[in-house]
Amino acid sequence: MNESAIAEAARTIWHHWREGTQTRAMPEHCQPANRADGYAVQAEVARLSGQATVGWKIAASSVAGQKHINVDGPLAGRLLANTVFAEGSGVANAINLGHNILRVAEPEIVFRIALPLPPLANGANYSLAEVMAAVGTLHLAIETPDTRYSDFLTVGAPSMIADMACAAMWVVGPAVTAAWRDIDLSQHDVTAYKNGDLVAKGSGANVLGDPRIALTWIANELCTYGAGLQAGDYVTTGTCVVPVPITHGDTLLMDFGVLGSIAAACAAVPPHRRDHLI
C-alpha cells in the first residue's frame, strides 16, 4: 500500500469507530493486502485518534477463533489510552454496548512489560524465557471487543489487523500478588459468571496453548512489523473461555482462582455515542 491508500483506510476505520457505525469491508482500492499493510493502517488509526498506545491485545488466539473469523493465525491490535479502564472505575462499571455488534465479554490473562523487547539483529526471534524475563507483573482483565466491519467473518486477516484486531473496551485489574510465576498458566482454570450464574469455563490452554506462548508470539510479531514491545506495555493474551454473550445491564465476574477475580458491568441504558471512549 502507498501512503495515500494507508491514510484512506485509516480514515475509514477511525470514522466508523467514532460514529459507532460499520462498513461491509474496506474499499477495494485501499484494502490491506498483507499483514504489513494491516499494521501500517493500524498505526495510522492510532495517530488519527490522538491517543497513546498503552499496550496490545491478541485476537484469534485459539484455532476455533481463527476458523470462526477466517484468519490464518493470531492478530495483534493496539490498546488505545482512552479505551482502557481500571477495575472499579465508573466507566468499568458501566461498559457501553450502545454500538457494539459483537456483544461478548472475554476474561484474559495480562502481562505488563518491564523491559523493552526491540527487534533483534538479523530478524532473530525471542525465546519464551527471554520474553518472560522482560515481564514485570501479571494482571487480570475483561475485554469487550468490537469491529468496524459488518461482514467481519470474511474480510480476512490484513483488514482485521487494520481494524485494531477488534479492539474496543478493556478493563484491567491491579497487579496479581500471588506467586504466578510458579503456576502452570496453560492448565490454570478460569470461570465466567454473568448476573451471578456460571456461564463458561476454560483455561489458559485456550490461549495459543499457554498465555506465555501467546506473549512470545506477539513479542516477535511486533518485532517483525514494528518496534517491538516497550517498557510499560500491557499485553492481554486472549480469551480463556468461549466468549460470553452480553447485553445492557449484565454484571460480570471472571474468576481466576488463586490469581484472583475481576468484575465489570454493562450500562443499563445505552448512550447514543461512544464519546466517553474517544
Angle at CA 201, nearest 5°, toward 73 and 254?
A: 95
How far CA 164 is from CA of 39, 45, 269, in Å, comes to 8, 8, 26
Residue 176 has pLDDT above 60, yes or no: yes
What pTM did the predictor assign? 0.94
Helix extents (H) in the chain: 3-19, 35-49, 63-69, 128-133, 157-162, 211-225
- Domains of the chain, each with CATH number or no CATH: 3-277 (3.90.850.10)
CA separation (Å) from 214 to 140, 206, 209, 219, 233? Answer: 15, 10, 8, 9, 15
- Model confidence at 270, pLDDT cuts 50, 70, 90, reads low
**In this model, does residue 93 exceed pLDDT 90?**
no
Nearest-angstrom CA–CA distance, 32 and 37: 5
| The residue to which cell 490461549 is assigned | 207
Cell of 97: 454496548
Structure-model confidence comparison of residues 93 and 214, the more confident one: 214
Indicate the average pLDDT of the chain: 94
Strands laid side by side in the 197-203 sheet: 197-203, 189-194, 251-255, 261-265
